[in-house]
Structure 1
Amino acid sequence: MAGSSPRYDICRYCQERFAQTSGPGRKKEYCSIGCRSKAQRDRSGKAGQHQAPSALPLGRRIAEDLQALSAALLEAEYDGRPLHELLRCASDVAREVEYYTAAAVQDARYQGASWEQVAEAARVSVTTARTRWPENRVQERLRRRAAERAAVRQPLVTMTEGAGGAEGGPLSKAAERASAKLASALSHLHRSSDLTIRDVGEQTSLSPSYVSRILSGERTPTWPVVCALTALFGGDPAELSVLFESAHGKVPPAQYAITDAVARLHAALRGLHLAAGRPQFGVVRRASHGALSVQEIHDILDGVLVPGWEQTSALVTALGGWPADVRPLWQAVHYTFLLCMDPPTEPQLPPAGPSESA
């Protein structure tokens, strides 16, 4: 783990990003033994038939990132940034659209669409469709995309490390969204406490005007202030810890112990639930369009269930959040778990039985 940053690749079966081994020997093509075994069974038992390698479409993950990139472009436009910055943001969006198109075609092919149907949808000839989006070329594009996004994430830690001051300078759109959610969560706790702004000021030694600006989202408070207000309102500061870090533009370390990574994911989801005003689980289920059951929502927010990405994405969207903002937290859980189940020194042995981690 120590030393150079890990290289990332796309699992050929589940299409999740995973840390590639850097030592000698053959490069890993699958994120776990389970995925490798399933791929081998599919090849031997269902040759010539296409099956979706994952319940979650490939295009959906890329569409979530497109949402964030488009927001960055809009932010740059609003800020009146120089033309070269606007064009760089536009180029990022255009490149991601190309990746999305390839992934969407692959999704359709996995679901049984013919090349004639793909060609008609894309308004190209069948020959062009076959040439432009063959499975091996799409897989190569997705691997390249994974490497690009891994390279982009590294500088972000340095760039945003010092941006988390109490009244820091300009932050990213994701930080602004987190700041707004933090204010919403504190505001909901305040309303539930039945305390007036003056009461809060007297009991925390903060001026009523400053408390008002915090609750309205005009000011992002420091962590001691968050703790003081949350405790006064009868809440749990831990539920707001991830929102606070994101609001201050702090990028956490890429590696956590599995228990810490899971705790951070659950804290982020509970924070979003709080920011949404703690809606009843039935309301959240309806907002997820039935993607989650009431029991699943209860278990996730109670910390009993570690959700898959489709569940996480559906819950975040139902709570008014952006899946792209939460995905790094989910990935931290996923990759840490994979490393525990499938260490980098994995020998090339005959496939074992199906893994529970897949």
Structure 2
Amino acid sequence: MFEQTTGRGRRREYCTVECRRHAQREREGRLSQQPSHSPLGRPLAEDLQALAAGLLTAEYGGLGLEKLLRLARELAKEVECYTAAAVHDARAAGSGWEKVARAAQVSVPTARLRWNEKQVVRMMHRRAARQPLIGVAAAEGQNSGDPEQPAVRASQRLASALSHLHRASGLTIREVAERTGLSASYVSRILSGERMPSWSVTASLARVFDGEADHLSALWASTHEVTHPTRHPFPRQLARLQDALRGQYLAAARPDPSHLCRIRPGVLTPEIVEDLLSGEEVPDWDTTGAFVSALGGWPADIRPLWEETHYAFLMWLQSAPGGTRTETGAGNDEDDNPPTGCSPPR
């Protein structure tokens, strides 16, 4: 806004129409209705995240259509409420209806009708009345998973995997401490999940337990939020995915394949489970997600690694049509050759 000069009653000049309307709202006390540090939309976005996570877990958990659609309806209602809250926050920050309409891709009269102050208040009141249902819906969807953050989930599963290896080894805590050079109390805290070990300690414990340290690498990396470089050659990328799946299997205490098949009938069979653990095939995502879900893990935590493997496989196919490398000398590198029996993910 251009600054007014002198003279009582002198007409104010503004740089734009939006600037003039902003000044008018300021004079009428219609700005800053919502404190900037506490937007109305943020808590709704958090509830949306919980509902979406619950729906994803319910999908992989094989819940019935009725429950899936109920979760979807609650999610749709939350999206509608969040949209109204986001518009409310933008209006409180000074955005005009023209800007809101452009962002929402609707006309200005439609924006005013849908998200005026009275309508937003009415929607928030209706949402508050059904707030308990939102929490129930999110909890219902997440009942087969852990709602904590990925790093927390990974730390718990890493401790579970190490504990299973320890029990299978038959060693006492004191014997483990003597062989690793760690204190007995520290070993106990690691196995209970109270302490997050370094990779060298994790690998040392795996060796003492006669386990494979590589099978714990994905869990350890997620626990410490370590990101690995992407775009590995296909066999190496596939090995990373296989190690991650074996780590999930260890964390679930190596259940019998028939037990997993009963959890996800029609998707998992004993043969498929064996193939997943042996690495004889590149698994499709439906199978991978069902396997991780049956083990009590979160498929969303494995999805990025699966996508990297899928991408690496497609790149390998482009450079090796029919399973035969065509580049001169490419066959001399073991990374150029896929494991026997690999089939493309679907």
> What's the TM-score, normalizing by structure 2?
0.52
Does residue 325 of structure 1 match 2:301? Answer: yes
Name the counterpart of 2:271: 295
Does residue 259 of structure 1 match 2:235? Answer: yes
Residue type at the aligned position of 1:184: S
Q: Is the 8 A contact 1:188 1:275 kept in 2?
A: yes
Q: Is the 8 A contact 1:341 1:357 kept in 2?
A: no
Per-residue deviation, 1:90: 4.0
Q: In the aligned structure 2, how far is the partner of 1:234 from the partner of 1:277?
A: 15
Name the counterpart of 2:250: 274
Does residue 182 of structure 1 match 2:158? Answer: yes
Per-residue deviation, 1:282: 1.0
- Which of these two proteins has the greater Rg computed from alpha carbons? 2
Residue type at the aligned position of 2:246: R
Q: 1:307 to 1:356 in 2, by over 3 A?
A: closer
Q: In the aligned structure 1, how far is the partner of 2:197 from the partner of 2:232?
A: 26
Q: Is the 8 A contact 2:313 2:344 kept in 1?
A: no
Does residue 242 of structure 1 match 2:218? Answer: yes
Q: 1:220 to 1:303 in 2, by over 3 A?
A: same
The correspondence for 1:223, drawn from 196, 199, 216, is: 199
Q: Is the 8 A contact 2:310 2:345 kept in 1?
A: no
Q: In the aligned structure 2, how far is the partner of 1:196 from the partner of 1:356?
A: 44
Q: Mapping of 1:6-45 within 5 angstroms?
A: none
Name the counterpart of 2:184: 208
Residue type at the aligned position of 2:46: C
Q: Find the residue that maps to 1:250 and give its secondary structure.
A: coil
Q: Find the residue that maps to 1:295 and give its secondary structure.
A: helix
Name the counterpart of 1:89: 46
Name the counterpart of 2:283: 307
> What's the TM-score, normalizing by structure 1?
0.50
Residue type at the aligned position of 1:265: L
Q: Find the residue that maps to 1:251 and give its secondary structure.
A: coil
Residue by residue, what CA displacement relative to the aligned partner does 1:11-55 show, whole Å, maximum 9, x if unpaired? xxxxxxxxxxxxxxxxxxxxxxxxxxxxxxxxxxxxxxxxxxxxx
Q: In the aligned structure 1, how far is the partner of 2:48 from the partner of 2:229?
A: 28
Per-residue deviation, 1:88: 4.6
Residue type at the aligned position of 2:241: L
Residue type at the aligned position of 2:285: W
Q: 1:205 to 1:83 in 2, by over 3 A?
A: farther
Q: Is the 8 A contact 2:203 2:213 kept in 1?
A: yes
Q: Is the 8 A contact 1:338 1:357 kept in 2?
A: no
Name the counterpart of 1:339: 315
Q: Find the residue that maps to 1:234 and give its secondary structure.
A: coil
Name the counterpart of 1:283: 259
Per-residue deviation, 1:289: 2.5
Q: In the aligned structure 2, how far is the partner of 1:356 from the partner of 1:210?
A: 44
Greater shift, 282-291 or 234-243, is seen at 282-291
Q: In the aligned structure 2, how far is the partner of 1:304 from the partner of 1:187?
A: 28
Q: Find the residue that maps to 1:221 and give its secondary structure.
A: coil
Residue type at the aligned position of 1:186: L
Q: In the aligned structure 1, how far is the partner of 2:189 from the partner of 2:210?
A: 20
Q: 1:356 to 1:178 in 2, by over 3 A?
A: closer
CA RMSD for the aligned pairs? 2.8
Residue type at the aligned position of 1:89: E
Aligned length: 196
Name the counterpart of 2:64: none
Q: Find the residue that maps to 1:220 and give its secondary structure.
A: coil
Q: 1:91 to 1:190 in 2, by over 3 A?
A: closer
Q: Is the 8 A contact 1:296 1:305 kept in 2?
A: no
Q: Is the 8 A contact 1:181 1:272 kept in 2?
A: yes
Per-residue deviation, 1:290: 3.3
Per-residue deviation, 1:250: 1.3
Residue by residue, what CA displacement relative to the aligned partner does 1:323-354 show, whole Å, maximum 9, x if unpaired? 000000110011222234358xxxxxxxxxxx
Structure richer in helix, relative to its length? 2
Residue by residue, what CA displacement relative to the aligned partner does 1:125-148 show, whole Å, maximum 9, x if unpaired? xxxxxxxxxxxxxxxxxxxxxxxx
Does residue 197 of structure 1 match 2:173? Answer: yes
Per-residue deviation, 1:254: 3.2
Q: Find the residue that maps to 1:264 and give its secondary structure.
A: helix
| Greater RCO (CA < 8 Å, at least 6 residues apart) | 1
Per-residue deviation, 1:356: 6.4
Per-residue deviation, 1:92: 5.3
Q: Find the residue that maps to 1:324 and give its secondary structure.
A: helix
Q: In the aligned structure 2, how far is the partner of 1:242 from the partner of 1:268?
A: 5
Residue type at the aligned position of 1:332: E
Q: Find the residue that maps to 2:214 and give its secondary structure.
A: helix
Q: 1:357 to 1:220 in 2, by over 3 A?
A: closer
Q: In the aligned structure 1, how far is the partner of 2:229 from the partner of 2:297?
A: 22
Q: In the aligned structure 2, how far is the partner of 1:337 from the partner of 1:218?
A: 38
